[in-house]
Amino acid sequence: MRRRDFIAAAGGTAVAALTGTAAAPAPRRIGAADIQLLEARFAEVIASDHLHGGRVSIEAKAVALADEALFLQEHGIASQRIRSALYACAASFMSSAMWAAIDGRRFDAALQHHQKAASIAAMSGDSAIQFRIWSHAGSLYRHLGRPGDALAANDAARGLPIARRDPLFASLGHARHAAIHGLTGDTNAVRRSLGHAQDALDRADAAASRPVWITAFYDQAELDSLALAAHLAAGNWEDAEAHAHRSMALRRGAMQRSHAITTVRLAHAQLGQGDFEPAVATAMSVPAEVSTHPRVTGMLTAFGTKLTAVADGSSPALTWTEYAHDTWRTTA
């Protein structure tokens, strides 16, 4: 060892001894294997969301994994390509934290996650994850009853290069636009957006390589689910029911929460048509363990309120009241 290197090393040891702290470890090189590991963890988050959705535990795990990716970005040695991928991974995790908060009705947390996710995604240069984040923002504002902000956020997603390049992304953008238009009661806009969504989905190459978050959920069943939400919001009960049946017939088996949401929306569509007994039977078909999900619970509560308003004292209303009381008392 050269003398000056020895002195430097000895000095470092002395400082550590005096301060009681160890010298910081040398930064390690971050490579493709690290990115693959993070992407595998992201796939696990997506799978957990489809099974359960909305849980604080999913939100917290996604935030922790985003922090892990950002730690590697800050302290590792990496090429520019790997750094961009690390930002994309962090943004992906934050977008899942955002969605878990939206799904769990924790809207203030969702807004905070959106701010962080959007800023990280901008540094990644990845328009696919930017699409997810702004599309989620559109859904967030839709759930908040702010259609103007929802349309603007969804337009930001639809204007990204990925939406112009890939018809599957374009289709999702149009379908979510339709759901937002439903809030305004603009049936013509709903039908126009859904037509664009269907045309784009029909043109999409099913074999194309895409991020796991979109391939895991967006298909014909999800398009019909968004069409159901759009027509339901606009009060087009028969159209809503038709899309509900089609979505439920095509829905992938693992998406329990999504199937439950579609089922409750079908009950609302039947109720809107005055079909009280079928509506109650449909609402009662939601598995008790899924009915405790925040979104599902809120929709079932709204169903009961509407049923009481239009059919108070009727046999279906009494049946529902007794069922809801017994079910939620048991699962509470």
SS3 per-residue string spanning the chain: CCHHHHHHHHHHHHHHHHHCCCCCCCCCECCHHHHHHHHHHHHHHHHHHHHCCCCHHHHHHHHHHHHHHHHHHHHCECCHHHHHHHHHHHHHHHHHHHHHHHHCCCHHHHHHHHHHHHHHHHHHCCHHHHHHHHHHHHHHHHHCCCHHHHHHHHHHHHCCHHHHHCHHHHHHHHHHHHHHHHHHCCHHHHHHHHHHHHHHHHHCCCCCCCCHHHHCCCCHHHHHHHHHHHHHHHCCHHHHHHHHHHHHHHCCCCCHHHHHHHHHHHHHHHHHCCCHHHHHHHHHCCCCCCCCCHHHHHHHHHHHHHHHHHHCCCHHHHHHHHHHHHHHHHHC
Residue 18: what residue type?
L
CA distances from 121 to 1, 94, 132, 139 (A): 46, 9, 10, 18
Q: What integer pLDDT is reported at residue 24 of this predicted model?
A: 54
- What pLDDT digit, counting tens, does each position of 308-328 carry? 999 999 999 999 999 888 876
SS (H, E, C) 179-220: HHHHHHCCHHHHHHHHHHHHHHHHHCCCCCCCCHHHHCCCCH
- Output the pLDDT for position 22: 46
What are the backbone angles phi and psi of residue 8, rounded to the nearest 5°? -65, -40
Q: What are phi and psi of 54, to 5 degrees?
A: 75, -5
Ramachandran assignment for 20, one of left (phi > 0), alpha (psi -120 to 50 degrees), beta (any other) = left
Check residue 9 and give its pLDDT: 37
Q: Which residue has the tokens 């013509």?
A: 188
**Contact by Cβ (8 Å): 98, 141:** no
Q: Which two tokens stand for residue 14?
A: 């002395």
In whole angstroms, how large is the CA radius of gyration of the chain?
24
Burial of 229 (0-12, 13-18, 19+ CB in 10 A): buried
Residue 29's beta-bridge partner residues? 77
Q: Please check whether residue 97 is in contact with residue 67, taking contact to mean a CB–CB distance below 8 angstroms.
A: no
Bridge partners of 77?
Answer: 29
pLDDT of res. 231 = 98
pLDDT on residue 25: 61
What pLDDT is recorded for position 271? 97
Residues of the chain with confidence (pLDDT) below 70: 1-26, 254, 328-332
